[in-house]
Amino acid sequence: MQQTPQHPSRHAGKSVLIVDQGLAKHRRGKPIHGVELFRLYLVGQMLERRVRVTLVCEKSWAKALDEHGLTGHPLLNAVLVPHVGGVVVNALVGSVRTRAEEHDAILIGNPRKGLVPAMYALTLAQPDARTLVFAHRRGEHRFLDMVQGIDFDLLCVSEEVARKYRGNVAGSIDVMYGLPNHAAFHPPAAHDAEAGRDDDVLRCCLLGRLPNVSKGTDKALRALELLAPDVRARVELHLASYIDEPPARVAGIPGVVCHRWLKPADVPEFLRTMDAMLTLSSNETFSQAIVQGMLTELPIIATRIPVYEEKLDTGGGILAHTPENIAKAITTLVEDRDAARAMGRIARETALERYCWDTAVFLDRHLFPAR
């Protein structure tokens, strides 16, 4: 059993009940990434600050709690719900199981309409608790219609997400997000960067849960085809990471390296072996991957979607939406390494300034604000 760390916090002794869309689902053996990974990090960091956490989870999440060192923590009450249905039923059962408890705050994570019955049950059972909805995706019309009778404030991961909610909810709306494990992402030390590297090869990575057509792998492969032969010979494309066997049509392409699923702990070191990052998604509401690359000091080539445009507005990379423009951007990085390194430095500075998650700030400003 873990011992509670003596981490100074003015919120020690406060309590929060967390009901999250992803954690209310059966895992079905899927790797943990994105929103759910963020939530587990956040729970751990709240426990470090001696906040009491009640976490509603479908029972298949028990192993993940154990792997993240949360099992048995004296300040964590993990309410493991049997797999009795989908999100609606699982979240509602968990809410009923906690109805006799009193909390200072209720945190509703990544909301969709399936969480609405649980939201009503919790707010009715604990009318004095502050309710904060943490939105990682754009609001659905049905969800917005269904929550009109609930008093809550809203925290969004980006202005792109907040835009949909503005004017449609009565409570306050704010924006805050970033990497909770940002300290793990940094450029390699100078001697490590120089050791055993062929400076003539540009190692580009595309990082995400693959295969997923929205991540832009086909655009990246088409851009490779469009490179001039002398440039193409100096480029490696690393596709990371596939939850199953990579498709043969991709794995067999010269200069393309496919990686099986990378555990979160392995991603920082993997990125430190790269020279550039491609973020070619067609739809993102924040993108942890681009921030990981920026913190690693990689120049970024990104498609023109709002969350990427925002992150590269200081010059940390190149916006390129079509395979033709992506090919031109790759060529620029291959032929002008000084410019590429300058972009990487700017990218890291921007990420450090804007996109590093601070749990203390989250607690102070959003979960337990002074009343």
pLDDT at residue 168, rounded to an integer: 87
Strand, helix or coil for residue 206: strand
Radius of gyration of the chain (CA): 22
pLDDT at residue 177 tops 60:
yes
pLDDT at residue 227 tops 50:
yes
What are the helix (H) ranges across 108-187? 116-125, 141-146, 159-165
Q: What is the pLDDT of residues 244-276, one digit of tens each?
A: 999 999 999 999 999 999 999 999 999 999 999
Structure tokens at 14: 């406060």
- For a pLDDT cut of 90, what percent of the chain falls above it? 78
pLDDT at residue 28, rounded to an integer: 79
Residue labelled with tokens 């849960």: 209
pLDDT at residue 193, rounded to an integer: 59
pLDDT at residue 314 tops 80:
yes
pLDDT at residue 4 tops 50:
no
Q: What is the pLDDT of residues 330-346, one digit of tens each?
A: 999 999 999 999 999 99
Q: What is the pLDDT averaged over residues 274-282?
A: 97
pLDDT at residue 6 tops 60:
no
> Which of 36, 32, 355 is closest to 209 using CA atoms?
32
Q: CA-to-CA distance for 178 and 192, rounded, in angstroms?
A: 27
